[in-house]
Each structure stands twice: as C-alpha cells, then as structure tokens.
Amino acid sequence: MNVAIIGSGGREHAICCSLKKSKKIEKIYCFPGNAGTEKIATNVKIDINNFNEIKKFVKENQISFLVIGPEEPLVNGIVDYFEKENIKIFGPNKISAQLEGSKIFTKKICQKYKIPTAKFGIFKNLNDAEKFLKKTIYPIVVKADGLASGKGVYICKDLSEAMVSIKEIFDGKFGKAEEVLIEEFLKGEEMSYFIISDGKTFKFFQTAQDHKRVEEGDKGKNTGGMGAYSPSRLINNELEEKIINKIIKPTLAGLKDLKSNYKGFLYAGLMIVNNEPYLIEYNVRMGDPECQTILPRLKTNFFEIVEATINQKLNQIDVVWSDAKTLSIVQCSKGYPETYENNLEIKNLDKIILAENEFIFHAGTKISNSKIVSNGGRVLNFVAKSKSFKNSREIVVDLINKINWKNGFYRKDIGYKVIDE
C-alpha cells in the first residue's frame, strides 16, 4: 500500500516515522516534506493547496490514502475535495475545520452548547474595539480570528499594549481581518488534550503541555511552540471526565447539528483553573511539537489507528500508551519568531547514532548540494523517552550538543514545572 502525507514540518516527519513501522505500507510520499522525510520517504514538490495537482499525483501513483498534517489545507477544504473524488483521506472536513479556521466560529459553538470558555466580545472595527478596551479590566486577551500559526494571540497588560494588538490585527498582520476577538484573561495553567475521532467513535490520544513563548521562563513573543512534554502534570480522572463531558462531547454534538461528523485529530487547548477546564481554542490536527512528543509513547500500530479512523472502525481498535515520560525541545533559527536567515548548514546530524528512545525530527530543513541546511524558523525537534522528565531533558540537551549549527538556539528550561519546581 502507498500512502501520502501533506506537510513539511516536524509533525509530518514524526507521522512519517510512525507510519513507516507498518509492514502494510510499501511507499510513503510527502508533499513537500523536508530533509528528514527525504531519508525515509519520497518528497514531492507540489503546493499543499494545489488539490488538482495532488489528486493527479495520487491517482498516477496508486496512493491508497492521504494524511493531512497542517491546518491550512484542512480549512481550505482538502478533505471535502478528495472525498468527492472517492479518495480516502484522514482529517476533518471544511465545516469541522472551522473550529481552528475561525476562533469566532468556535466561540459561538461554546456559547450555544454551554461549553466553558473565557468571556468574550467580537468587534468588527477599530473604533468599537477601542471603546471597549478603554473601559475593560486588565490583563486582557486579544486574538486574530483566522489562522495565524499559533502567533495571533496577545496577552495585554494595559490599554497601550491592547491598542497596538488590535491595530496590528486590523492592519492585516495575520491576513485580512474583518473581526477581532477580545477575551477575559483566565489565570490558570494551560494543557493540551487530544482525541482521535472517526465520526462515530472517539478515543483519547494523550495530553501534553507545550511552551509557546520564545524566551525561558515562558517570556517573550508567542511562537508555534518551543518544546513540550507528555503526559501533562495536570491530568487526573476527575478533570478528564469534565473535559470529555463539558467540552469534547458538546463540541462533537454541535458539529453534528451542522451536518458534520468530526474525523481526524482534535486538539483542545485548555486552561485549567482549580481543576476546572476552560476551552481556549481548538486545533483540527495534531499539535507541533506535541505530535513529536506524543507519538513515541504510542504502543498501538499507528497505521492501524489511521486506517480504522478513515474506515470508521475506530471502535475495533485499542489505543495503548507507554507510561514513559517524553520531552521535546525545538531548535530554532536565531531571530525566530521574527526575521531569520535560511540556507545555513547544519553539521554532524548524520553522525548521530540514536538509541531506541531518542528521536530527531526535522522541521525547517532541506537538502542543498548534498548538505542539510536550515529552511525555516523552527528547524529541528529533539525528543527523548525515559522514566522521568528530568532524564528525558538531559538526553535531549546531550543530543543537541552533538550537532554543529552556529545559527541555532533553544530553550533550556522546557518542562521546568515538572522538573525544577
């Protein structure tokens, strides 16, 4: 069987590695992939939003199904497109993908189905938003409505910061903005909760906590994610019951009312306040770097889970997890999340011999003149699995120190709440 993965990041490299373990798979294609996927799959240079070209390649190469990594093609309707062509595909349809495509769509679902979330207001222009900001209580959270690669969120401690944020959003920093979302600030601790759903059944797909801020101590600008660990230190039976009954089930019911049965990964970004969950946002795919952190803990064959999901037979699969503690650190290009330099050689990567519980997933890399060079802001993901988070972090730092890339930087305190406190 031939399969294809859409995307080019660390998440897609991790998915590729997990699918590769199946004896049923003969060949894996990645659109467009990276230097890591190139070693275990065939990279194909096709725009991930050019559905016609992808379809042509899929048919010519007898690809049995597609797995979609990033959010953009999902929000643009890639699943609907391929389902009309009777080509099997893993991911939610366009209606369901609005959970990530529009924060306002999600807030309206929360409102209608009484899902716990921060109080909010929706503003269509700068003047109305400014009037509200002048009389509100701070800190406040300001969000761009559409896709923003995890960066369209501002936590504003005063009016001047809030004014800068709404101006940037309405000026198009994250694409065309017709509305802005302003939320109350919830004081608690964030947690990522994942499920996998086939439209009939859903199964738990682990927890994680990621570090979005670029600087140590969770300071500085928002990023796509600087590192993560799994499982979350916050999860317990009582909390999980609340998450499922107050958040996950009402959301899936709300989508069903819109004639959309959710298929694929669903990632709930939560704020936990005194063991009560509040929905911050949804992502309609695996997180990055959470995916790279979670998949090494999976004991069940990943291909069988994906195949069962596509065929709506997830109820026949037991998803089994290791009790091990995984931790990932993302090595980034200096200057990220702002401007940075690409095409700089990363040396010694090929010389590293990985132990069974050590992983390196490529993100922003490519092969140029037979050398691995940087090709993005978040470049490499280093992951370790062991009996403790402390040990996992030590292994990861040792791995990073083995490569020679002068333009790289990373946070040394990933997982500090489970290691240092």
pLDDT in tens, 90-138: 999 999 999 999 999 999 999 999 999 999 999 998 999 999 999 999 9
Each residue's pLDDT tens digit, 168-186: 998 888 877 788 999 999 9
Percent of the chain, pLDDT > 70? 99
What is the crossing angle of helices 302-310 and 10-20, to 10°? Answer: 100
Pairing of strands 180-184, 153-156: unpaired
Q: What is the pLDDT of residue 149?
A: 62
Write the DSSP symbol of residue 321. B
Q: How far are the Cα atoms of 328, 329, 358 from residue 384, in angstroms, in the given order?
A: 7, 9, 5
Structure tokens at 247: 């958040």
Q: Which residues contact 213 (CB under 8 A, 6 or more apart)?
A: 219, 220, 221, 222, 223, 226
pLDDT above 70: residue 336: yes
Q: What is the pLDDT of residue 112?
A: 97
Cα separation, 235 vs 296, whole angstroms: 19
Structure tokens at 136: 């509100």
Cα separation, 31 vs 27, whole angstroms: 13
pLDDT above 70: residue 148: no
The count of other CB atoms within 10 Å of the CB of residue 32 is 16
Contact 410, 226 (CB under 8 A): yes
Cα–Cα nearest to 354, from 384, 324, 386? 384
Pairing of strands 63-68, 2-7: parallel
Q: What is the pLDDT of residue 151?
A: 65
Q: Which residues contact 410 (CB under 8 A, 6 or more apart)?
A: 226, 227, 329, 330, 331, 332, 400
Domains of the chain by start residue, with CATH? 2-91 (3.40.50.20), 119-184 (3.30.1490.20), 189-316 (3.30.470.20), 325-419 (3.90.600.10)
Q: What is the pLDDT of residue 175?
A: 78
Mean of pLDDT values over 400-410: 96
Structure tokens at 170: 């309405």
pTM equals: 0.94
In three-state secondary structure terms, 103 is helix
Q: What is the pLDDT of residue 306?
A: 98
Q: What is the pLDDT of residue 145?
A: 85
Mean of pLDDT values over 183-191: 94
In three-state secondary structure terms, 110 is helix
Percent of the chain, pLDDT > 90? 92
pLDDT confidence bin for 150, thresholds 50/70/90: low
The count of other CB atoms within 10 Å of the CB of residue 21 is 11
Instruction: State the sign of the Cα–Cα–Cα–Cα dihedral 98, 103, 105, 107.
Output: positive
Cα separation, 115 vs 261, whole angstroms: 18
The residue type found at 146 is G
Q: How far is CA 371 from the centre of its chain?
A: 28
Q: What is the pLDDT of residue 421?
A: 62
Q: What is the pLDDT of residue 172?
A: 84
The count of other CB atoms within 10 Å of the CB of residue 139 is 15
Q: What region, left, alpha or beta, does residue 172 occupy, with left being phi > 0 and alpha being psi -120 to 50 degrees?
A: left
Cα separation, 33 vs 12, whole angstroms: 8
Mean of pLDDT values over 78-94: 97
The vertex-184 CA angle with 183 and 190, nearest 5°, equals 90
The vertex-417 CA angle with 230 and 158, nearest 5°, equals 110
Mean of pLDDT values over 128-155: 86
The pLDDT mean for the chain works out to: 95
